[in-house]
Structure 1
Amino acid sequence: MMILSENVHTLKVIDSSLRLIVIPLSVASMWLTLTNHQDNEIYGKIEFSNLKGLKFLVSISAISAGYALVAVISSWVKNLMNKAWIFFVCDQVVAYLMVASGGSFGEIVYLAYNGNPKVTWSEACSSYRRFCGRLNVILALHLIALLCFFVLSLISAFRVFTRFEPPLSSKEVEGERT
């Protein structure tokens, strides 16, 4: 029983640590995105508000940071309610939202570096190097936060599904009938 208690405490510390790590990562990616802009004499100014994918990234980063803060606080509150299912569902939803925003953001970064010759979009990073450099940093921060939520999703799934008995095999069902 002592080993189980130590494992539960270790899992809780890892869970809280990952949630605490997500908060500054998401806030930093939001701040970098919101302040990312560059002016070019030939092509004009580019900023996050010009690209809907960046707006989506900012929204999801805000949601993930807010949820992580609420979750880390509520995870240490005793007897609030059975939070395992709530954490499981919310962790899954936030992880999927982060995957979606990461995908749209990844497409923006790809197009900024490579363009799309089929629709005559040229690449933009040769003209907006600083803007694109910050996009790479934002992408890295977002991917690290996404990995944290991936692990959090596994932890919350483990917590929910270890509360149930495994299903009976066909031999066990036949043994109960006789």
Structure 2
Amino acid sequence: MGSTDQTLPFFTQFFQFKAEFDDLPAFTFFVIANAITAAYLALTIPISIVCIVRPHLVAPRVVLIFLDTNFYGLVMVALTTAPAGGAASIVYLAHNGNSDVNWPAICQQFNDFCQEVSEAVVASFLTVVVLMFLVVFSAFAL
């Protein structure tokens, strides 16, 4: 999502229409929230590796279970779900428009942009499912 953009020429090269992810605050929120979730998961990887390599150590397992089942794991699920829902609504408007308020569908013109944004939203919802499974599996490990 963070690198999604498309430029359409209009008559000449001096007049162009450009669509970027940061044109819409919902997409910016989407990118920032998913970056925070990715950073959290990247920070828990070393603890997970220690738990796999040294299964007899209790402290890393307790820290990992605490992070996954308590506050952080559930916050990361919510932090991934909220912007995915907001971005999904914007993608829906981009594909279908809203004739009641004269918002045209822009996906007929910006095909590549809409395709990439749609793929990012679907991937985010799949990430939500994976995070929920991680929270449940971590709870069973307790």
TM-score range, shorter chain: 0.7 to 0.9
Q: Does residue 1:135 correspond to 2:103, yes or no?
A: no
* Corresponding residue number in structure 2 for 1:45: 18
Report the AA paired with residue 86 of structure 1. Answer: L
Tell me the distance in 2 between the aligned counterparts of 1:66 and 1:128.
31
| Coordinate RMSD, CA, aligned | 1.8
Q: Does 1:72 align with 2:45?
A: yes
Provide structure 2 residue ranges, at least 5 long, that are not aligned to the other structure: 11-15, 51-56
TM-score, scaled relative to structure 2: 0.80
Provide the rounded CA distance (Å) in 2 between the counterparts of 1:153 and 1:103. 20
3-state secondary structure, aligned to 2:6: strand
Displacement of 1:138 after TM fit? 1.1
1:1-178 aligned at under 5 Å gives the runs 33-42=1-10, 44-77=17-50, 78=57, 79-80=59-60, 82-83=62-63, 84-88=65-69, 89-160=71-142
**What is the distance in 1 between the residues matched to 2:40 and 2:95?**
33
Deviation at 1:86, TM superposition (A): 2.4
* Counterpart residue identity of residue 6, structure 2: Q
Q: The residue matched to 1:154 in structure 2 has which SS?
A: helix
Question: Post-superposition shift, 1:81?
Answer: 7.3
TM-score normalised per structure 1: 0.65
Distance 1:114 1:81 in 2: 48
Q: Using the TM superposition, name which of 75-84 and 139-148 deviates more.
A: 75-84
Structure showing the higher strand proportion among its residues: 2
Q: What is the deviation of 1:41?
A: 3.1
- Percent of residue pairs bearing the same amino acid type: 27
Q: Which has the larger radius of gyration?
A: 1
Query: Cα deviation per residue 1:103-142 (whole Å; 9 max; x = unaligned)?
Result: 0110111010011122211111001011011112212221
Could you tell me how far apart the structure 2 residues matched to 1:145 and 1:58 are?
A: 14
